[in-house]
Copies of this chain bind each other. A is one copy, B any other.
Amino acid sequence: MSNAGELVDLYLAAWNEPDEDRRREIVARTYTEEATYVDPLMQGAGHSGITAMIGAAQAQFPGLRFRLASEVEAHHDHTRFSWELAPADGAAVARGTDVGQIIGGRFGTVVGFLDQIPTS
C-alpha cells in the first residue's frame, strides 16, 4: 500500500513538473520503459512520449496543478486514485480517476477517466 502511495506521489509530481528534463527523470521513476498512458483526452507511450504528453497538457492548463483527491487504493498489482486539477488553494476545474497496473514498482499501464470535465 505504501509503495502504491509513493508511486502516486511521483506520478502527480511528474504532472506538476514544468522542467522537461526533471519531468523526464520523474517519469522514468514512475513508469516502465514500455508503459502506456491513456485517458479520454490524450495518450502517450514510453518515457519520452509520456513526458511530452504531460508537457502538452501543462500548456493547455497554465497555472493549474494536479493534486490527490482520494485515498490510494491498491489490490494485487492494481491501484485506483482520484485527482483534481486546480489553481493553488483554489477550487478544482477538473477531476478524474486513474487506474494503474504496477509492474516491478512502476506503472506499466495507466488508464484515466474524467469525473468532472475541464471547464477552463
State the A residues within 8 Å of B (CB). 38-40, 43, 73, 75-76, 78, 80, 97, 99, 101, 111, 113
The A interface, classified by DSSP as helix, strand, loop or mixed, is: strand
Oligomer: number of copies: 2
Please indicate the chain B residues that have their CB under 8 angstroms from the CB of A111 in the complex: 78, 99, 101
Asked if residues B113 and A38 are in contact (CB atoms below 8 Å), the reply is no
Check A80–B113 contact: CB distance below 8 A.
yes
User: A39 and B75: CB pair below 8 A?
Assistant: yes
Which interface residue of A39, A40, A99, A111 has the most chain B CB atoms within 10 A? A111
- 8 A-B pairs with CB atoms under 8 Å apart are A38-B76, A38-B78, A39-B75, A75-B113, A78-B113, A80-B97, A99-B99, A99-B113
Question: 6 extra interchain contacts, Cβ-Cβ under 8 A, other than A75-B113, A99-B99?
Answer: A40-B75, A78-B113, A80-B97, A80-B113, A99-B113, A101-B111
- Which residues of B lie under 8 Å from residue A40 when comparing CB positions? 75
Please, which residues of chain B bring their CB within 8 A of the CB of A78? 38, 111, 113
